[in-house]
Structure 1
Amino acid sequence: MWKLLIWVSLPLVSSKCYWNNPNPYPYFGSKTPYDTVRGDFRDVPEIEAKFRQNRISADANDFSECEAVSIWFMIRHGTRRPNAPDTKIMKKASYLKDNIIHKRTQGKGEMCAQDVDDLRKWMWNPKLDYKRSYLTTHGFQELFEFGQRFSQKFANFLEEVNSSVLRPTSEQRTQQSIKAFVEGLRGINQSFPIEDYILNDPVARPYRYCAKRGSQIINGTRAISEIQRFQETEEFKKVQENVQRRTGLSLELKPNTIKGLYDLCRFYRSYTLLKRSPWCSLFSDDDLKILEYVEDVQHYFKNGFGDSLNSQTGAAGLKDLYEKFHHVTKTGHKSITAYFTHDTMMDMIYSAMGFYEDYPKLSGFERKKDRKWRTTFLTPFAANFVAVLYRCPKLPSTTYRVQFLKNEKEVHLCGARLCSWKQFWETFHRFTKANLDFCDDDTYVYSV
């Protein structure tokens, strides 16, 4: 009887502990640190070397003297602090900390002792209360290192650039990100001035002042209704039950509270040196995969294929890409163009190109596990889409080829490493007709 009483008094500890898990689930949607999913410019084979190896089977043309003559890219800012709405939800959820610890002393819950101890040591960062959405120190480092790798890969090109456009949006996080990138371009005997932001930027942030998108999407209910629909599924309810059981809490955990706990996990995790947060111990890997889908649905309907206005808006950025490259083919002047923007714009340009579209479409009805639209890989912190225009003088026909990279990994848009100029024209020339006239709608005005 005495042995039975001892066994009953012990907490129902889970067989898995977060604190010493060698491979915790690393994917957190748009709050995923860049290093988790990125490639490396320096590992992308040189054009000439790769084609020389595959000359017979791949292409009989001579790429031996190809040189980069123009680079265009859009890049999201690095890791940031949460915005005002997220901060409010996170802070409210953080008040559960003492209750969770207390339940552990009562022998309730399934959390490991060390996980609870780490949670006990955790403290709210007061900077979140007044430096909302600011770039973190880690976020600055992400863009600094991106600049270093970029300059090592394209050093010869950068030394010979004739003109440059480097422009952030009006936010502190993009302005600090572009500063970090330029600082990373060390060893380049060339200066790259940073342009002032444009308040209503028609390329880097056209959605910000698109009134029709505001009234139809931002003030619309589609994204919210799809998320609420998913939160009614057995799969999401299982997450609620799991967290309730793991923490030993008696009060019902509403979806908004689950979101707050999830954000405490992923935000704090994203800018700590060890990439860990004790709040992540509240979730299993399966729980995190399900919560990751919630954000994918949100981005899908607010920024992506869920509404045609998003691809129309994203077309404005791609119009700039085509025009910049076309100008170089006419003038021969080498140029670099870089816009430091936000995950919304990254989503929109992928939608405009038709990248990563799912059939059947995403919805809140059930989770599509093998989906292409995953914000973790599309728009992590410091996400980027890079296009490189090459001049290849030894080719017998049109001498220009275009290479594409996403998060420093090569993307084969045309089925091969390089698109011919004709293939590039067929894909991007249509964006020259893009305009934002459809945005005129005085029923909605963005707040500054």
Structure 2
Amino acid sequence: MAASMGKFVFFFFIYFSSVFLVISGSFRKDIYSTKTAYSWVYDTNKNVDLNEQMSTKFGNKTCAAVNVQAFLRHGARYPGYKDIRKMTALHEKLKLTVKSPEYPFLRKWENDFPESEEKQLVDEGEEEQYLLGQRFGKRLLQLYGDSMKNVKFISSSKDRCTESALSFYEGLTEIVLHEAFDDLKPIINDEILRFHTKCGKFIEEVENDRSHMKFHKKFKISSEMNNVVDRVRKRLGVEHATLNAGELKLIYFWCTFEMIILEKDDWCHLLTDEDREVIEYHNDLKQYWKKAYGHPVIAEMACPLMTEIFGALDKVIASQLNNRNQRGNVATFYFGHTESLAPLYAALGLFNDTSPLLDSNFHEMKDRVFKSSRILPFSANIAMVLYKCDYETEPEPSVNDFVLRFYVNEEPVIVPACGDYVCSYSKVRDMYTHHVDRCDFENVCRTKVHDEL
């Protein structure tokens, strides 16, 4: 069933209103960690040429795209119910204690986010995914062949992911089929997209063990964070013990939620860009140590997803070598969470700074590559595009005729296996053998046996 004209008009209106929307103030909007809107770090007005990713060069060879495997984090969502309650309580406290007349909104502010909608996809999140679908359709239009028969959609069971998949599908079909369809029923697979909830070792040694979060905890009481707290206290005119670092972080996230969803920036005025950079680093310490490079099991538990991706690419290559004209799967789109994307980055060896993020090196790490605002915003995505090089004249075509490119948030990134933007598939595959050919999720996630007293 085709999506209604009303839905098209809705997205048309939202897209153009977002282009001309100007929120008061001159805040940098690319420093809100994992709650950053996708359009704040990627220029959604950037021109996309038809089939611009359909070919690439590898040495003196010209190569054509034959498959894409893409993972997308869900779009912008409502805050969780715990934060909704905490923010209401914080406002009540500030309303009674703030002495400065510069923030009159505090007297009349109301929490507009209902607990019943907690973590649900919002209109802006639908828009992010719809437009992503359109751009993926344009860049690889020739790959799809005017059909969705050879395209797979796999999603986490969470509503925000299945709804993201549907919005993406509508955008993709709008380009490929010239009509937006809303009849998608994605394959639900939490085994490969919510592996963090099924890995006992991760839950016991990372999720429930705070010892590996020592740098995050130490930075919370660092001079940098304390200076931010002091500055905000002075702006508000509150007493010394009224505001703490945890509440500061809540204000930081409430600023971005209200900007994205309500187009309001009241809470944002309490923080400067300098303040937000400090809070962003505090949150990056959490993402780095808890969801990416803080423990070996984090990358290892992503092996079911790695196996799915590279297994699909292996099948495409085998099919191409056995029958050069055979058309099988041409694309797979996975829809998941930060908790699945960050471990995937770790398994791939992406965004791993030469020095780890610590509580003591904030200033040295200002130009870090592990910057969650840029690599883990709402609707963050990574695409692996497989290309077949021109081997028709070669007597014995082989796997060596295939190359791979990585794109993160629609921009090319260097492939770790070869240190270049285009890499032999064999080199990439060899680098990840441990995660693909020797994936033993049960063994990776087995918890230690504790002797009973």
Question: With structure 2 as the length reference, what TM-score do the two structures score?
Answer: 0.81
The answer for the alignment partner of 2:389 in structure 1 is 392
Give 1:123 shift.
2.8
Query: Which of 404, 417, 433 lines up with 1:429 in the alignment?
Result: 433
Query: Which of 144, 149, 157 lines up with 1:158 in the alignment?
Result: 144
Aligned counterparts of 2:239 and 2:257: Cα–Cα separation in 1: 26
Distance change >3 Å, CA 180–CA 228, structure 1 → 2? same
The answer for the alignment partner of 1:87 in structure 2 is 84
How do residues 306-325 of structure 1 correspond to structure 2 at under 5 angstroms? 306-325=294-313
Query: Which of 283, 289, 299 lines up with 1:295 in the alignment?
Result: 283
Aligned: 1:345 with 2:348: no
The answer for the alignment partner of 1:35 in structure 2 is 39
**Whose Rg is larger?**
1
Give 1:224 shift.
4.5
Distance change >3 Å, CA 222–CA 371, structure 1 → 2? farther
Give 1:239 shift.
0.6
**Conserved 8 A contact 2:54-2:142:** no
SS at match of 1:42: coil
SS at match of 1:271: helix
SS at match of 2:153: strand
Aligned counterparts of 1:290 and 1:296: Cα–Cα separation in 2: 10
Tell me which amino acid in the other structure corresponds to 2:424.
S
Aligned counterparts of 1:168 and 1:269: Cα–Cα separation in 2: 28
The answer for the alignment partner of 1:15 in structure 2 is none
**Conserved 8 A contact 2:51-2:141:** no
Give 1:46 shift.
3.5
Aligned: 1:401 with 2:386: no
Query: Which of 132, 135, 141 lines up with 1:149 in the alignment?
Result: 135
Give 1:131 shift.
1.0
Aligned counterparts of 1:399 and 1:193: Cα–Cα separation in 2: 34
CA deviation string 1:291-346 (max 9, x = no partner): 00111011112111111110101232122211101101112324211110000111
How do residues 195-206 of structure 1 correspond to structure 2 at under 5 angstroms? 195-198=186-189, 201-206=190-195
Aligned: 1:248 with 2:253: no
**What is the number of equivalent residue pairs in this alignment?**
403
Distance change >3 Å, CA 385–CA 80, structure 1 → 2? same
How do residues 217-366 of structure 1 correspond to structure 2 at under 5 angstroms? 217-222=206-211, 224-252=213-241, 253-273=243-263, 276-332=264-320, 333-366=328-361
Give 1:405 shift.
0.4
The answer for the alignment partner of 1:130 in structure 2 is 116
The answer for the alignment partner of 1:13 in structure 2 is none
Give 1:97 shift.
4.9
**Conserved 8 A contact 1:72-1:321:** yes
Aligned: 1:70 with 2:60: no
Aligned counterparts of 1:44 and 1:405: Cα–Cα separation in 2: 17
Aligned counterparts of 1:19 and 1:151: Cα–Cα separation in 2: 31
**Conserved 8 A contact 2:156-2:188:** yes
The answer for the alignment partner of 1:411 in structure 2 is 413
The answer for the alignment partner of 1:194 in structure 2 is 185
The answer for the alignment partner of 1:214 in structure 2 is 203
Distance change >3 Å, CA 334–CA 312, structure 1 → 2? same
Q: Which is bigger in relative contact order (C-alpha 8 A, separation at least 6)?
A: 1
Tell me which amino acid in the other structure corresponds to 2:318.
K
Aligned counterparts of 1:404 and 1:19: Cα–Cα separation in 2: 34
Aligned counterparts of 2:336 and 2:23: Cα–Cα separation in 1: 35
Tell me which amino acid in the other structure corresponds to 2:428.
F
Tell me which amino acid in the other structure corresponds to 2:60.
A
Tell me which amino acid in the other structure corresponds to 2:99.
K
**Conserved 8 A contact 1:99-1:249:** no
Query: Which of 354, 366, 369 lines up with 1:369 in the alignment?
Result: 366
Distance change >3 Å, CA 306–CA 281, structure 1 → 2? same
Aligned counterparts of 1:204 and 1:251: Cα–Cα separation in 2: 44
The answer for the alignment partner of 1:177 in structure 2 is 164
Aligned counterparts of 1:412 and 1:152: Cα–Cα separation in 2: 23
SS at match of 1:69: strand
**Conserved 8 A contact 2:216-2:285:** yes
**Conserved 8 A contact 1:41-1:150:** no
The answer for the alignment partner of 2:100 in structure 1 is 104
Aligned counterparts of 2:53 and 2:116: Cα–Cα separation in 1: 48
The answer for the alignment partner of 1:60 in structure 2 is 60
Tell me which amino acid in the other structure corresponds to 2:439.
A
Aligned counterparts of 2:332 and 2:208: Cα–Cα separation in 1: 33
SS at match of 1:68: strand
SS at match of 2:283: helix
The more displaced of 307-316 and 282-291 is 307-316
Tell me which amino acid in the other structure corresponds to 2:157.
S
Question: With structure 1 as the length reference, what TM-score do the two structures score?
Answer: 0.82
**Conserved 8 A contact 2:213-2:290:** no
**Conserved 8 A contact 2:95-2:106:** no
SS at match of 1:323: helix
CA deviation string 1:230-280 (max 9, x = no partner): 12211111011000001111252122221222222122123234xx52101
- CA RMSD, aligned part only? 2.8
Gaps of 5+ in 1: 1-17, 52-57, 106-110
The answer for the alignment partner of 2:11 in structure 1 is none
Distance change >3 Å, CA 218–CA 323, structure 1 → 2? same
Aligned counterparts of 2:204 and 2:55: Cα–Cα separation in 1: 51
User: Between the two proteins, what is the percent identity of the paired residues?
Assistant: 23
Give 1:202 shift.
2.3
SS at match of 2:39: helix
CA deviation string 1:150-174 (max 9, x = no partner): 1111122122565332121111110
**Conserved 8 A contact 1:41-1:408:** no
